[in-house]
Amino acid sequence: MTAQDDQIPTPPEGFIRSSGRGAFSTHNGPYFHREHPGEFTEQAFFALPRHANGIGLVHGGMLTAFMDGLLANAQYRETRKTGVTIHLSVDFLHMARVGEWVMGEARCTRATKDIAFVEGRAYVGGHDVVRATGVFKLMHKKT
């Protein structure tokens, strides 16, 4: 546990710390998720100073990485196949600040044998911070 982990308050109700996300996401996090039956994937992170730009707003790169992982997780829940991002579109709508919980939800809207389409949003309180759509190439094991 690092000193920055001590700055993270108790996550929102039902959220638990995520693990097994790979080195990049583990370094950027920590991330949290809520086990949620149904079509939505829910994830969150607490905005630390290291997630921010020079004026204390959560960096667009952090929000983009969060959305990419969130959408990828929704794609996996739907298809049970590893996917790689082939297109990601991110619209920044509002600001998130250090000290806020950034919440996210996503769902797979369509999946074929080789491609999945996903949409999601990140929000703080009552306002959307980011909306994103993604297209994922589904990986198949070689026989």
**In the chain, where the domains are located:** 3-138
Tell me the sheet residues that pair with 117.
Answer: 110, 135
82/52 Cα distance (integer angstroms)? 30
Provide the CATH topology of domain 3-138: Thiol Ester Dehydrase; Chain A (3.10.129)
The mean pLDDT of 34-58, rounded to a whole number, is 88
CB atoms within 10 A of CB 50: 11
For residue 1, the model assigns a pLDDT of 40
Q: What pTM does this model have?
A: 0.90
Q: What pLDDT score does 3 carry?
A: 47
**With 90 as the cut, is the pLDDT of residue 71 above it?**
yes
Q: Residue 39 has what pLDDT?
A: 66
5-31 pLDDT, tens digit per residue, is 558 999 999 999 988 777 888 788 899
